[in-house]
Amino acid sequence: MKDILDNAIRIARLAGNKIKEMQQDKSFTEQLKFGYELVTSADIASNDIIISEILKAYPTHRIISEESEDHNFSIPGPTWIVDPIDGTVGYANGHYQVCISIAFAEQGSVQAGVVYNPFLDELFYAIKSQGAFLNSERIRVKEVSNLNQCVIATGFPHKKENIAHITSFLARLLPHIRDVRRMGSAALDYCWVACGRIQGYYEGGLAPWDMAAGRLIAIEAGATAGHYALNTPPTLPEDIFGVNIIVSSPGIFEEMKNVLETT
Ligand code: IPD
Ligand code: CA
Ligand code: CA
């Protein structure tokens, strides 16, 4: 797994440098996917680098990327799960809370994850059962026991449907927490829980590429990960099942889940 991780780090840095350069030069173009979701030429450039580098190193492996065609999430064999830019809306507006997310899974279970923010040169990574790291330093979640001491992040879907339902969860939580953040990258939200900069994160619907790497990093840093208000059984392996996710410091997990579920 060390070889997989080293390659994922090398590739994330290559793609990260490319998107940083394109933001600095303002050399990217913007388009809409599905009529409502922003995608830039930097998302595509990053995708091209990541796919070609993975296939050079591991020609037989499968790759599921947000910006590629294959979105069949049955992942029995060695599979890479890639978000070439997580935080595209922020990226296009010159923000720095943007990353490349690369995970490696086998038998439906994520074994290694890399999340790289090229703007802050912050590299988060983990191998299953071997702890989580930020730029070579071991990271741990912050120890907290009351939700009212906590800064909690959330995110919203690109498709602006069911807004009253989505904001009802924020309305429930807000009176119980110190403050809320919407930073614009799910993968970095997981990593910020992992390094203690925030103490929890929840969101109604993530895709596998938003969460695969970050979730492993958060768990390896001691976070608890689960779901709130889940009415149906998971339809994907837990590591990539993004419906109503919560991740937090263990000491507030139950309280946060209860508050989100209390009508
Ligand atoms: C989005 C970001 C955002 C989250 C959305 C995701 P993208 O990914 O992670 O924080 O709230 O649900 O779709 O489109 O920037 O790759
Ligand atoms: Ca994403
Ligand atoms: Ca993306």
Predicted pLDDT at 69 = 87
Summarised one tens digit per residue, pLDDT across range 206-220 is 999 999 999 999 999
d(CA 224, CA 213): 15
Domain with CATH 3.30.540.10 in the chain: 2-138
Ligand 1 mean position, distance from CA 42 (Å): 15
Handedness of CA 94, 136, 154, 43 (dihedral sign): positive
| SS3 (DSSP) at 101 | strand
Residue 84 has pLDDT above 90, yes or no: yes
Q: Which atom of ligand 1 is nearest to the CA of 155?
A: 11
- Would you say 134 and 217 are in contact if contact means Cβ atoms under 8 Å apart? no
Predicted pLDDT at 74 = 83
Q: Return the half-sphere exposure (C-beta side, CA atoms, 13 A cut-off) of residue 15.
A: 35
Q: pTM of the entire structure?
A: 0.97
The alpha carbons of the chain give a radius of gyration, in whole angstroms, of: 17
E strands present in 24-173: 30-33, 37-40, 62-65, 79-86, 99-106, 109-117, 122-127, 132-134, 137-139, 151-154
Ligand 2 mean position, distance from CA 116 (Å): 13
Mutate to test the pocket of ligand 1, among 167, 185, 189, 215 (most ligand atoms within 8 A of CB): 185
d(CA 255, CA 263): 14
Predicted pLDDT at 202 = 98
d(CA 240, CA 16): 23
CATH number, span 2-138: 3.30.540.10
Handedness of CA 55, 191, 106, 242 (dihedral sign): negative
Summarised one tens digit per residue, pLDDT across range 154-172 is 999 999 899 999 999 999 9
- What's the CATH fold of domain 147-261? D-Maltodextrin-Binding Protein; domain 2 (3.40.190)
d(CA 260, CA 263): 8
Ligand 2 mean position, distance from CA 244 (Å): 15
N- to C-terminal Cα separation, the chain: 44
Q: Whose CA is nearest to atom 15 of ligand 1?
A: 87
Which residues surround ligand 1 with Cβ inside 6 Å? 83, 86-88, 155-158, 184-186, 203, 206, 210
Domain with CATH 3.40.190.80 in the chain: 147-261
Mutate to test the pocket of ligand 1, among 86, 91, 166, 215 (most ligand atoms within 8 A of CB): 86
